[in-house]
Amino acid sequence: MKLKRYHYILIIGSLIILLSIINHIAVLHREAVNKEQQKMAVAKKTEQKKVVPVKEIQYTFREIYDVKTSEKKVALTFDDGPDNRYTPQILDILKDNQVKATFFLVGRQIDKDPSVVKRIFSEGHEIGNHTVNHPNLNKMEVQQISQEVENNNAKIKKLTGYTPVLFRSPYGNASEQVKEVLKDSHLLLINWSVDTRDWKETSPEMILANLKKEIRPGSIVLQHSFGGKKVHNTIAALPEEIKWLKEQGYTLVTVSELIKQENK
């Protein structure tokens, strides 16, 4: 059969369409490969920057208010959390400023917001034990004290794989009986040397003023990441606190990191 002109036109047109489809498929394939390579590169970069969570350290029991050191290092600590409102805001501020802190967590709050506990740990902050129910331990029997301490350690370990080595007693109350329980549990009792008084609904300006007045090398700073509307002031003050401390030449570290600086 002799092909006519329009047959050639149809054949050429079909070839052009086929080549166009093949080219389009090739472009889509290249784009998919490039996206996958970009995702892998980002994942690799993220892995390289991944913060190594605080390691467990075996301590001999003692009570600590601050650390004796000439190094200009201090530890910010946050009590009573976690929650899903204020604690994440504090974590965002710390992350933006590349600062590590120590969070003393309460068991009943851990049960409400376990994902926040995991975030605290994964971002390289230290977690301390602040009991399950935040009671006045001085009014409790030894067995009850032990349950508050051990049960909370178990909650934290279940979520993070990490057993806390630091303990802060609710209200700062710790009788000799409480200290004996902590000794048996291989926990350090961590108090504070700088009270910002954020728990008293202090204004952001006064929180900063209280910090400036009491801070010195080796200080442990008391603040809160849960406890009602007053934590708004803690969040408002925190960026200014960090800015001022850095301007004074201070490095902000976890409590365990601070302890390593003792007598240096």
**Pair of tokens at residue 137:** 């331990």
- The active-site residue, picked from 80, 113, 130, 224, is 224
d(CA 101, CA 99): 7
N- to C-terminal Cα separation, the chain? 99
Burial class (CB in 10 A: 0-12, 13-18, 19+), 1: exposed
Residues 117/160, Cβ–Cβ less than 8 Å: yes
What lies within 8 Å, CB to CB, of 89 at 6+ separation is 235
Whether 224 is catalytic: yes
- The active-site residue, picked from 79, 80, 83, 113, is 79
d(CA 104, CA 82): 9
Whether 184 is catalytic: no
Q: Where are the alpha helices (DSSP H) in 2-103?
A: 5-49, 86-96
Q: Which residues are catalytic?
A: 79, 224
